[in-house]
Structures are given as structure tokens and as C-alpha cells.
Chains A and B, each alone.
Chain A
Amino acid sequence: MKYEVVMGLEVHVELATESKLFCACSAKFGAEPNENVCPACAGMPGMPAVTNKRAIELGIAAGLVTNSEIARVTAFDKKNYFYPDLPTGYQITQLFAPICRNGSVEIETAAGKKTITLKQIHIEQDAGKLVHDVCAGASLADFNRAGVPLIEIVSNPDFRAAEEVVAYLEKLRSLLSFAGISDCKMQEGSMRCDVNLSVRETGAKEYGVRTEIKNMNSLKAIAAAIEFEAQRHIGALETGCEELVQETRRWDDALGETFSMRGKEDAADYRYFPDPEIPPVPVGEDWIEAVRQSLPEPAETKYERMTGTLGLPETDARIITGSKNLSELFDKTLECYNNPREVVNWIIVELLAIAKGDNKGEDDVRIDCEKFAKLIELVDSKTVNRNTGKKILLKVFEGGVDPAAYVEENKLGMVSDAGAIDDAVREALAENDKSVAEYRDGNQKVIGFLMGQVMRKMGGKADPKAVSERLVYWLGR
């Protein structure tokens, strides 16, 4: 018997706002426990909610990058349940009039292109965090995250394979982080994903029994959880020794299994109702247009520009557009020195290598783009050679030195004077008869050694291309 896995995703993404959704507290990650808390987000009575306009804007932006219909009027609802990480006893979310509906996201896997359709995107408050202190025998509540704005992106059950899920999440991450909607860091919990999964016989019309899997905090964990849960369903269908029930299951990364979470989620009636104190928000065409104008160039468009008019290799363009940070770095550097191919090379080959030594990657490597551009220009104009350029890059990266001034001070300017190079080449040849003889016997490899000798004589400042030309010339005589 052949089976088909059917999945739908609920992706929670923290919005990159300065403050929380309904109060003025900071929404930043990494503060001391309960540092970013006021009476309102601690659930105390008496502070009417004030809606964060920026959160609505980022919700609109999320709709724009996912080709969604954006509501003309969006409104908030209360979802009621008790849990110690929820200070007010209700979550403010959107059920009846979400900010976006009917979006779509294009994904690409080894099997080809596919469109994932979205049911809706809604804005809601995050809950706090509980820390279970085993030693003290107590649970501690941290409300820094309570009230931070999230969007939940709800897809239709369009996924058929774990690779599609991973491709979709990577695509969402790229779309959302590019547009500045969220930093989408799974490890910091600013992007979280629940998978609704069922299995049916291939070709069947009806869906199988659906389970929801939670608590995966990496793409790897998501793929593994899907694989495990799909096999569990198939096993249950084939052997009949386990009865599948509609439930929420928690993924245990260490054990590599899902476990039933009976109790909290099951059969809950959240008693949703329109929030009686938060006025509905009208979203006019001009507001949507203003948000559209403020969005940066999407990754796809940038990719096409890089491989098209700029004539850059696809692999390089993929690396640059895979990260918002690199994209911005590329654009800013290109603004200062308009040589796309060299700028891309220096970013991918040299800058990322240096950054790696500092435990930085695509998303957090930083450099003064103006100085970076100047450095590339110095190499390009043969003022310094590439090796010296790399050394100066390290200085720029570490201390932000000014490349031109640095070259001047340390007399690193490259010698391209033919006379000086000729002198050095002839000296080197005179001192290394053996190598010269070898070369004339047909061993071309010794030219590398001779290059090194010439360069050493010139303090590493010679133009390698000129040196190699002159070497060949003099060896041929």
C-alpha cells in the first residue's frame, strides 16, 4: 500500500517592533527576567490597551510579501484560557478579521517548483516564559516576552514532504527577514513552527486523523519530527495496533520521538470574542501603498538583477541574496565602488573567511562598507596586491582602519614600475641558477618558487601579474 503525508503549517514569527503590541514596554530579546514589564503586560488591571501601529504595518508587510489579500478593517479578539505564562488570562489575537487572507508562497525543491497557499496571517500577543526550577521546587515566570507582537502564518494542507516544509520555512525566513518584518531566529524562538500532519492512502480523497506536532526548534528537528510522526501514522494504519487520535504531540529532540500532550490543548473551548476595548483598525489603500513603498527590494528581484544586468554567477547571487545582511552589505559597498564582480568576490571569498575566524556568519558579519569599498578599489587599481589587500581587510574588519591612509603609512603601495621589477627578476634569476636550469629543462613549476623570490625582494609589494610576465620574459632569453 502507498501512503501520502498531508501537512499544514502554523508558523509563529515575532515582529521586529521596538515595543510590545499593546503597551510601551521594549520587545527586545535578551533582557534580564522581568526587566521589560509594566502593569499592563504583567496583567494588572487598569491600563487600557493601546494598539502598536508598527505591528499592524509589519502585518501588512507580511501580507505584501506573501501575495495575501489585506483586510480593509482588521480587529482583535480575546482568546480565553488559564496558564501561568499568560498574565491576563486571555490572549489578544485575531480570529474574526485577521490582517491577511489567501496568500501564497512559491517554493522550490529537488522535485521542482510548487505553490503553497496560505489560509491567513493574524497578529497576536506572545505569552511569557516559565522556567521550572527543579532545585527550588518552583516554577518561575518571566513576562519579558508577554505581549510581544507575533504573526501566525497559517498555511493550507498543501505540503506532501518534509523537504517542502523545510523549503517553505527557508523561503518564509528569507521573505520576512528581507522585508525587516522579523529576524526569524529559530534558536531565539522568534520563529516557531507547528506541523499538522495526517497520512492517507495515495489517491484517497478524505484526510486521515490529524495530529499537531509542537516544540521543534530547528529545521533539522522539524524534518526529523515529520519523518517520525509520518512513520508512526503509517505504522498505525498498517498494523492497527495503535489507534490514531486527533491530538497535540510534543517533539522530544533528545529522544527523537513525539509524545502526546493530553491535558492543556485538548477539547479546549477558548471562548473567542471580539475584544470590547480595542477599536478595529481601518487599513486604507494609501496606508498599504506606503508600506509597499517602504519595503526593500525582495530577494527574488535582487537575485534576478544580480544574475541579469550585473552579470554575476548564480551561486554567488544565491549566497548574497540568502541573507539580508549580506544583501545590504553588497548594496552599500557597490554604492561606494561600482564593480559588482569584485565586490561579490571580496565578500564571499575574503570577508566571510575573516568573519568565520571571529565566529560570525552571513547574518552578523559587519564591516564599514565605505572602507571596504576603498580597499577593493586599491587592489583593483593595483595600488596594492591582493595578498596585501587581505591583510588590510583584516585591519579594516578588526579596527576600522582607513585603507588608503594605512597603505600610505606602512608604505604598502604596490610597485608596478617595470624597471624595479626587472631588476628584482634579474637578481633572483642570477641567485637561482638551478631553478633556472630546471625551468629550461621543461619544469614549469619552478616559476612559482621564482615568483616567491622576486616578491620577497620587493617586500611583497610587486604586482604579481607584472612579475610573472617579466619572469617568463627573462627566462625565455
Chain B
Amino acid sequence: MIYADDSIMRKGFPATAGSKMLENFIAPFTAEVLTRLDEPAERAVLSEFGLSAPGELPSPLLCNDVFGHVRRQAAKQGLCYLRPTYGTVSRYGLIPTACSMDQIGVAAKTPSEAFALLDKIRCGDDCRPPAAPPRRAAVTPPYADVYDSVLHILAYAEISANISRYDGVKFGFRAEGYTDLDSLYTKTRTEGFGLEAKLSAMMGCLVLSREYYEIYYEKALKIRAAVKSALSFDEYDILELPVESHLAVLCGLPSLTVDGVQLAADAGGEAWLRKAVGL
């Protein structure tokens, strides 16, 4: 049995992304990843739009993980978590959290199980097959002390826009007892969203507001770009990072969290990760 987070849609079945907002939403089409599996996946509700820590994870599990909640939970349970290069697994049919970092990954008991599942769902092949054993390094990547802030600023901004569509007008939850358009919006979003979703929307509006755009959002974009251009895999193939590090998510790198460490490779370098764990 393979599990899929409830933000991965299967036509004709509920797809709630863990939100009351989508409690009556029936998926109008099937996510690309699910069509690549041999068997239908079992729905697993983790947390609202992946915004907070999930409970015990089933495995193997396909899910999107922007904030690292799943990665940390997997490590806690002794599972591994494999996040492929950004864009290599289709986002078609994934209810978005933060588009620039949304990426379906795999939580599994072993790296070999995780890679086997990834091979099924990914588009294309590993593009840089390694000739030699990977060189590992445990260096601190550039600007590492601000990754948490940068990730949250970018993610909040994107989430605030992505969940604007849940307004009670077209589909999903609509509150009762509204009197006009404003009260339809306000009541629906007040009752439909959980605390984390509301917090994300509020924070997103703040960092994108005319007053704070430059101070927060634009600066976060610049730092992300600076990290990407400063990061070089010339001296090593595998970067050993703490499980908590957001580097891979921010820069779209493939990473494998296993045995209490997060191994990251350059974009497209899944083959290095395989090699690093002896596969």
C-alpha cells in the first residue's frame, strides 16, 4: 500500500489538503504522480496545506513538504525522506502550498524503497551519473543563519496568494449566515481556515504590502538568488546538512534525509545521493 497526502488529487475523490475549506471538494482530475503508480494510493491527511507538524507518518508516503515538517517527523520515526530536484516530479494535480518550493517527495522505510518509488513518479532520468565515489563535505552553506526567515517570508507570500481562491464563491466550504459579499468572504475564511493558514495569509499580506515589500519579500528573493549563485558543488558532490536545514527546499536541490542527517546534491544530482547511500 502506498499513501498519498490529501493535497495530491485523485479524480472523483475528496482532496482536502487537510483544510476544512476543502472538506467538500471532489478532485476534478487526477494528479500526474498518481497515474504513474501501479496501484491506487491511500489518502493520508497530514496537516492543513502542510503548514504544521503531522502526526505519525504512514509509509511509503508521497507528500509535498515546504517547511520541513515531514522531513523532521520522518527522521523522528526513523524513516528516510527523499526530496527530488525542483520540477522533476509533476505538480499537476498537487494542491499548492508555495509554488516556487512545492515538490512531491517520498517518505519510506529505506533509501532503496524511496528511490524505487521516485523512479516511478519522476519525469526523466538521473542526468549526471557519477563515475567516482561521491566526495562528501560538512561545510556550512552561505547565509545559512537566515534560511529559516527567508523560507518563511517566501512561503507565506506565496501561500497568501494561493489560498485566496478559497473564498466560498465557487467551490469548497461556504459559511452560512452571510449577509453580503464582505461577510461571505470574512465568515467563510474565518470558519474555513485553521490558525496556521490564517497566520500564513496575514504574514504573506504583510511581507508583500507596499510598506514592507522591499524590507521582507524583495530581500528574501535576493538572498535566495545569492545563495543559489554562491553555492558550488565544485569541491564536493554531497553536502551534509542538519535535518532542519532549508537549503535544499530554498534552492530546489535534491536531498535525502536518513540516519539523522540531510544529504543534499546539486540540482539534477539524485544519482550522487544514491551512490552516497550505497545504491
Q: Give A contacts to B, CB under 8 Å.
A: 39, 42-48, 78, 80, 82, 84, 87-90, 141, 269, 271-274, 276-277
**Interchain CB contact under 8 A, B164 and A48:** no
Q: Which residue of B lies closest to A47 (CB)?
A: B92
What's the nearest-Cβ distance from chain B to residue A383, in Å?
64
**Interchain CB contact under 8 A, A43 and B28:** no
**Interchain CB contact under 8 A, B217 and A273:** yes
CA A39 to CA B31, docked complex, whole Å? 13
**Interchain CB contact under 8 A, B161 and A78:** yes
Which residues from chain A contact B181 at a C-beta distance below 8 Å? 84
Which residues from chain A contact B161 at a C-beta distance below 8 Å? 78, 80, 89-90, 271, 273
Hey, what's the 0/1 contact readout for B29-69 against A, CB within 8 Å counting as 1?
10100000000000000000000000000000000000000
Please name the 8 residue pairs, one residue from A and one from B, whose CB atoms are nearest each other, closest first: A89-B164, A277-B99, A276-B100, A271-B208, A45-B95, A43-B165, A276-B99, A39-B28
Knowing A39-B28, A274-B221 are in contact, say whether A87-B170 is a contact too (CB < 8 A): yes
Hey, what's the 0/1 contact readout for B219-263 against A, CB within 8 Å counting as 1?
001000000000000000000000000000000000000000000
CA A30 to CA B92, docked complex, whole Å? 30
What's the nearest-Cβ distance from chain B to residue A194, in Å?
21
**Interchain CB contact under 8 A, B157 and A273:** yes
Main secondary structure of the interface of A (DSSP, over half): loop
Which residues from chain A contact B96 at a C-beta distance below 8 Å? 45-46, 277
Additional A-B contact list (14), CB under 8 Å, known A46-B29, A47-B93: A39-B28, A44-B170, A46-B9, A46-B93, A46-B95, A48-B91, A48-B92, A78-B161, A80-B208, A84-B167, A271-B213, A276-B98, A276-B99, A277-B99
Which residues from chain B contact A48 at a C-beta distance below 8 Å? 91-92, 99
CA A46 to CA B165, docked complex, whole Å? 12
Knowing A78-B161, A273-B157 are in contact, say whether A46-B209 is a contact too (CB < 8 A): no
Which residues from chain B contact A46 at a C-beta distance below 8 Å? 9, 15, 27, 29, 31, 91-96
Question: Could you name 8 residue pairs across A and B whose Cβ atoms are closer than 8 Å?
Answer: A42-B170, A46-B95, A48-B91, A48-B99, A80-B208, A89-B161, A90-B164, A271-B205
CA A39 to CA B161, docked complex, whole Å? 17
What's the nearest-Cβ distance from chain A to residue B224, in Å?
11
Which residues from chain A contact B210 at a C-beta distance below 8 Å? 269, 271
**Interchain CB contact under 8 A, B169 and A80:** no
Report the tally of A-B residue pairs with Cβ distances under 8 A: 81
CA A276 to CA B162, docked complex, whole Å? 11
Neighbour of A88 across the interface among B27, B165, B213, CB < 8 A: B165
**Interchain CB contact under 8 A, A82 and B164:** yes
Which residues from chain A contact B205 at a C-beta distance below 8 Å? 271
B103 in the interface (beta carbon within 8 A): no
Which residues from chain A contact B92 at a C-beta distance below 8 Å? 46-48
Which of B9, B98, B160, B164: most chain A Cβ within 10 A? Answer: B164
CA A277 to CA B17, docked complex, whole Å? 19
Which residues from chain B contact A78 at a C-beta distance below 8 Å? 161
| Total interface residues in chain B, CB < 8 Å | 38
B13 in the interface (beta carbon within 8 A): no
Knowing A46-B96, A84-B181, A274-B221 are in contact, say whether A141-B28 is a contact too (CB < 8 A): no
B158 in the interface (beta carbon within 8 A): yes
CA A90 to CA B29, docked complex, whole Å? 23
Find residues 153-188 in chain B having any chain A CB closer than 8 Å to their own CB. 154, 157-158, 160-165, 167, 169-171, 181, 185
Q: Which residue of B lies closest to A273 (CB)?
A: B208
**Interchain CB contact under 8 A, B213 and A43:** no
Knowing A82-B185, A271-B205, A273-B213 are in contact, say whether A45-B165 is a contact too (CB < 8 A): yes
Neighbour of A276 across the interface among B158, B164, B213, CB < 8 A: B158
**Interchain CB contact under 8 A, A44 and B171:** yes
Neighbour of A84 across the interface among B162, B169, B213, CB < 8 A: B169
What's the nearest-Cβ distance from chain B to residue A39, in Å?
5
Q: Which residue of B lies closest to A277 (CB)?
A: B99
**Interchain CB contact under 8 A, B185 and A80:** no
What's the nearest-Cβ distance from chain A to residue B277, in Å?
31
What's the nearest-Cβ distance from chain A to residue B256, in Å?
25
CA A43 to CA B94, docked complex, whole Å? 14
What's the nearest-Cβ distance from chain A to residue B151, in Å?
13
CA A78 to CA B210, docked complex, whole Å? 14
Q: Which residue of B lies closest to A263 (CB)?
A: B182
CA A350 to CA B91, docked complex, whole Å? 59
Knowing A44-B28, A46-B93, A273-B217 are in contact, say whether A141-B164 is a contact too (CB < 8 A): no
CA A48 to CA B17, docked complex, whole Å? 17
What's the nearest-Cβ distance from chain A to residue B138, in Å?
31
Which residues from chain A contact B29 at a C-beta distance below 8 Å? 39, 46-47
Which residues from chain A contact B170 at a C-beta distance below 8 Å? 42-44, 87, 141
CA A206 to CA B185, docked complex, whole Å? 41
Which of B93, B100, B165: most chain A Cβ within 10 A? Answer: B165
Which of A48, A87, A271, A272: most chain B Cβ within 10 A? Answer: A271
What's the nearest-Cβ distance from chain A to residue B29, in Å?
6
Which residues from chain B contact A271 at a C-beta distance below 8 Å? 160-161, 205, 208-210, 213
What's the nearest-Cβ distance from chain B to residue A244, in Å?
24
CA A67 to CA B251, docked complex, whole Å? 39
Which residues from chain B contact A82 at a C-beta distance below 8 Å? 164, 167, 185
CA A90 to CA B185, docked complex, whole Å? 15
Which residues from chain A contact B154 at a C-beta distance below 8 Å? 276
CA A48 to CA B102, docked complex, whole Å? 11
CA A87 to CA B208, docked complex, whole Å? 20
CA A442 to CA B12, docked complex, whole Å? 95
CA A272 to CA B209, docked complex, whole Å? 8
Which residues from chain B contact A89 at a C-beta distance below 8 Å? 161, 163-165, 167
CA A95 to CA B273, docked complex, whole Å? 40
What's the nearest-Cβ distance from chain A to residue B101, in Å?
8
Which residues from chain B contact A87 at a C-beta distance below 8 Å? 165, 170
Neighbour of A269 across the interface among B95, B209, B217, CB < 8 A: B209
Q: Which residue of B lies closest to A45 (CB)?
A: B95
Which residues from chain B contact A90 at a C-beta distance below 8 Å? 161, 164
CA A272 to CA B161, docked complex, whole Å? 10
What's the nearest-Cβ distance from chain A to residue B232, in Å?
23
What's the nearest-Cβ distance from chain B to residue A279, in Å?
10
CA A141 to CA B184, docked complex, whole Å? 15
Find residues 110-143 in chain B having any chain A CB closer than 8 Å to their own CB. none
Which residues from chain B contact A45 at a C-beta distance below 8 Å? 17, 95-96, 162, 165
CA A276 to CA B93, docked complex, whole Å? 17
